[in-house]
Amino acid sequence: MFFGKKPLSETLLNALIQQVADFYQLPANSVKNWFSQNKQQLEIHLPFAAKTDVEQLQTELQQILLEHDEHKVSLAFHTQIKRLQTKRPAIKGSGNIIAVSSGKGGVGKSATAVNLAFALMQQGAKVGILDADIYGPSVPIMLGNKAASPASEYGKIMQPIEAHGIVANSIGYLVPEDDAAVWRGPMASKALQQLLNETEWPDLDYLILDMPPGTGDIQLTLAQNLPVAAAVVVTTPQDLALADATKGIAMFDKVDVPVLGIIENMSYYLCENCGHKAHIFASQGGEKLSQKHALPLLGQLPLDLHIRQHADEGKPLLIAEPDSSISQHYREVAKSISKALYQEILHSGEAIDVLLVR
């Protein structure tokens, strides 16, 4: 291992590796292969989307370099996400397909899926979104491009629609809303499989699949027949939604798709004037659900006017207000999802590590 002509001491390299390992509470052995050296540059390839960690990591590593009199060495961080092997054959370019599902309609699954797609992008991943909510496709509304239509050069393979740095496809771009609304189950699931297969996804890390709400035949067929890498379940905290979320978790268990965790949406309302936190839809529901199923509670997002306004106006919150505390919260959830999927990749391979969600 050389830096230009000068070898970088093993002691120093080990100290740097240990620092990153401690940061992520991982064994140094797993972190070692994230490092590569190139002339005066030390490259660190993070295997999950965690761009918001880079600044702190950089400071910590630079401090060690300074202590070893190696201040000239520059650091470069990259995001290098692997694909989790799925039972169903992979779809070209789609990367890891993450199903965002809800047992019950109206809990904010689509708004969560869209915001998470942008949050993952802002954490450094290449992201697409497929709107599989066939009876109520809201992705085109939330991306503000309802009138767009995917170009198709050979009459078959479609180019996804680009929006603010992600790509998307939806039945909503292809057929009038009322047409899809009358499709029966088998026709709807076939149309969705086609939509996924016949889109030219541009080498993504993640494809967010905005599932139709519920746990019926269409959902089960999709979870079973598509190469879904993992799922997250969105719920509101009240009992009714939690009972349905349980069915959602059971559905993914049945088809052996790992559930990465639960997102509680509309958890509370924070009064903008007095700062009072009101638990409109009851409290701690998501927490109880996560304990019951031994799944992480990935995030608790507020009931917030800005989330609704930006979604309904077609200006994604993460793009319109990237510095808001809610956008930061979404980025934390996105990072946790990405890390949890990395954990699944480790489990599926020879190495098994413990990665705590930071």
Ligand X SMILES: Nc1ncnc2c1ncn2[C@@H]1O[C@H](COP(=O)(O)OP(=O)(O)OP(=O)(O)O)[C@@H](O)[C@H]1O
Interface ranges with ligand X (CB under 6 A): 102, 105-111, 133, 136, 138, 213, 265-266, 301, 303-304, 307-308, 311-312
Structure tokens at 124: 């450094």
Q: What does each C-alpha distance from 84 to 39, 263, 333 come to in angstroms?
A: 32, 22, 19
The answer on whether 214 is annotated among ligand-binding residues is: no
Report which residue type is found at 21. A
Separation between Cα atoms, residue 245 and residue 238, nearest integer Å: 11
Q: Which is nearer to ligand X, 257 or 301 (CB)?
A: 301
The answer on whether 144 is annotated among ligand-binding residues is: no
Q: Which is nearer to ligand X, 103 or 124 (CB)?
A: 103
CB of 317 to ligand X, least distance (A): 10
CB of 61 to ligand X, least distance (A): 37
Q: Which residues, including other chains, have CB under 8 Å from residue 3's CB and lie 6 or more apart?
A: 37, 39, 40, 73
CB of 107 to ligand X, least distance (A): 5
CB of 109 to ligand X, least distance (A): 4
Structure tokens at 82: 């692997």
The answer on whether 105 is annotated among ligand-binding residues is: yes
Residue nearest to ligand X (CB): 108
Q: Which is nearer to ligand X, 61 or 301 (CB)?
A: 301
Q: Which is nearer to ligand X, 158 or 311 (CB)?
A: 311
Q: Which is nearer to ligand X, 57 or 111 (CB)?
A: 111
CB of 115 to ligand X, least distance (A): 9
The answer on whether 275 is annotated among ligand-binding residues is: no
CB of 133 to ligand X, least distance (A): 5
β-sheet bridge partners, residue 234: 263
Exposure of 29 by Cβ count < 10 A (0-12 exposed, 13-18 middle, 19+ buried)?
A: exposed
Query: DSSP labels for 54-85?
Result: HHHHHHHHHHHHHHTT-TT-EEEEEE-PPPPP
Query: DSSP labels for 171-220?
Result: GGGTS-HHHHHT--HHHHHHHHHHHHHTB---S-SEEEEEPPSSSSHHHH
The answer on whether 216 is annotated among ligand-binding residues is: no
Q: Which is nearer to ligand X, 30 or 112 (CB)?
A: 112
The answer on whether 104 is annotated among ligand-binding residues is: yes
The answer on whether 108 is annotated among ligand-binding residues is: yes
Q: Write out the binding residues for ATP.
A: 103-110
